[in-house]
Structure 1
Amino acid sequence: MVVEDEKSLADVVATYLEREGFEVTVCGDGTEAVALARHVDPDVIVLDLGLPGLDGVEVCRQVRTHSDAYIVMLTARTDEVDTLIGLSVGSDDYMTKPFSPRELMARIQAMMRRPRTSTATGAASETGADEPLREFGDLVIDVQGREVTVAGTPVALTRTEFDILASLSRDPGVVCSRPQLIASVWGPNWVGDDHLVDVHIGHLRRKLGDEATRGRYVRTVRGVGYRMGTGQ
């Protein structure tokens, strides 16, 4: 699904997607996009930030209440605040205009190659073995069922947030750098700013009721990366 009010750009993106075998739906209005996303149930949404009706941030926020589609935000605004806001409401990636349609396709294909369970847990899935629940105090991660609870209460995570948590919890005592998390979650061929990991980590912590200073579930190892906390 391509949500872009600049028709010429929308047509270019749609053409590239169709060449890659995607069925494409295009719209140029934010309000229409929210309704259309419910009807179409897309796998991927290419979403412009500046839209009539509702802007891309609000569209992303509303779509995330019912869809776990991969969302790539397009923005003509280069300041970091808008980018971080877009990611904080659940977009998986972003590109700043002008951009290369080929690079956009490469990023989308990389996301689509991501398995429904984290790449970090592939070995257990391939062997068919039942993986035990991963528990960190009140936090319980069911990797195979892709479910997370805190003190028995389900926590709704996006695919990207879940995959990051699954990657970190695979070897809870090991520190994962940003590049390692990028390779595990986004794929080894992903190209972009690896600081988007920090944004997703922040959003993940908020949903888990965690704090960076405390790090019950996700701890920052300064200058290196992140690792799981003990839940205490």
Structure 2
Amino acid sequence: MSETIALVDDDRNILTSVSIALQAEGFVTRVYADGDTALKALTENPPDLAVLDIKMPRMDGLELLRRLREKSQVPVIFLTSKDDELDEALGLAMGADDYISKPFSQRLLIARIRAILRRTEHAGGGAEGGDLPESADVLERGELNMDPAKHRVTWKGDVVTLTVTEFMILEALAQRPGVVKTRNQLMDAAYQDDIYVDDRTIDSHIKRVRRKFRQVDPQFDAIETLYGAGYRFSEE
């Protein structure tokens, strides 16, 4: 079955051109010109991935993502204004999986979409895994339990809800406790197909993962920063 991509942008030209390009690649598209309409549709009938513009009237993309994350972990790519680092940082901090700056290449957007969808499939099809049996590939590291088949993470028995990108980064760290992973290695784990993201993107995802774990355990310190080197996961 073809994957469904939701496009949310107040620029009708972008909606039309990107929708046509995605359909030519075999995707099903749903388009929305404002955040209010999109929020209801995305929560009631989640797509496989959503592409959100940040700069929209009434409800902007950041507010849309904030409300969406209260109910869904659908993968999200943000479209940001060129050189607007604040938008990018806020989007990642709020749970976006990726961002692309306008003006953008449709070929690049399609490549990013395909990469995230592959990661979603690797992580067990997203957070809506249903009542699948526990996978033989469950990863247990101290108080951490990760089940890729269910896209399910627990810490000390409490569920921690992660986006696809956050899951992939944490899995890369937890697979080899005590081993330092550079930002480039974490980029390779989360962003395949030679898609480049900068250091700030990985750092933002790490900060959000830590914040989510500290919501269930304020003393969480299993992800360590080694300045100038990278990050590592500690079981102790």
TM-score, normalising length from structure 1? Answer: 0.86
Matched, 1:171 2:176: yes
Residue aligning to 2:20: 15
Return the offset for 1:134.
Answer: 1.2
Write the mapping of 1:1-232 to structure 2, written as runs, cut at 5 A.
1-76=6-81, 78-114=83-119, 116-117=121-122, 130-131=136-137, 133-136=139-142, 138-209=143-214, 216-231=221-236
Return the offset for 1:224.
Answer: 1.6
Any unmatched runs of 5+ in structure 2?
1-5, 125-134
Q: Contact conserved, 1:4 with 1:48, CA < 8 A, in 2?
A: yes
Deviations 1:114-158 (A, max 9, x none): 253459xxxxxxxxx82354133x433334443222232211111
Distance 1:118 1:148 in 2: 11
Distance 1:132 1:2 in 2: 34
Distance 1:104 1:170 in 2: 30
Any unmatched runs of 5+ in structure 1?
120-128
Shift of the 117–172 alpha-carbon distance from structure 1 to 2, 3 Å rule, reads farther
Q: Contact conserved, 1:117 with 1:146, CA < 8 A, in 2?
A: no
Q: Contact conserved, 2:213 with 2:220, CA < 8 A, in 1?
A: no
Distance 1:90 1:113 in 2: 18
Distance 1:101 1:31 in 2: 25
Aligned length: 219
Q: Contact conserved, 1:215 with 1:229, CA < 8 A, in 2?
A: no
Shift of the 87–15 alpha-carbon distance from structure 1 to 2, 3 Å rule, reads same
Identity %: 37
Q: Contact conserved, 1:17 with 1:24, CA < 8 A, in 2?
A: yes
Question: In the alignment, residue 134 of structure 1 is paired with which amino acid?
Answer: E
Distance 2:12 2:149 in 1: 41
TM-score, normalising length from structure 2? Answer: 0.84
Return the offset for 1:93.
Answer: 0.6
Distance 2:151 2:27 in 1: 26
* Misfit runs of 4+, over 4 Å: none
Question: In the alignment, residue 152 of structure 2 is paired with which amino acid?
Answer: E
Q: Contact conserved, 1:177 with 1:226, CA < 8 A, in 2?
A: yes
Shifted more, 180-189 versus 49-58: the winner is 180-189
Q: Contact conserved, 2:8 with 2:52, CA < 8 A, in 1?
A: yes
Shift of the 41–143 alpha-carbon distance from structure 1 to 2, 3 Å rule, reads closer
Distance 1:149 1:70 in 2: 20
Three-state SS of the structure 2 residue aligned to 1:16 is: helix
Question: In the alignment, residue 88 of structure 2 is paired with which amino acid?
Answer: T
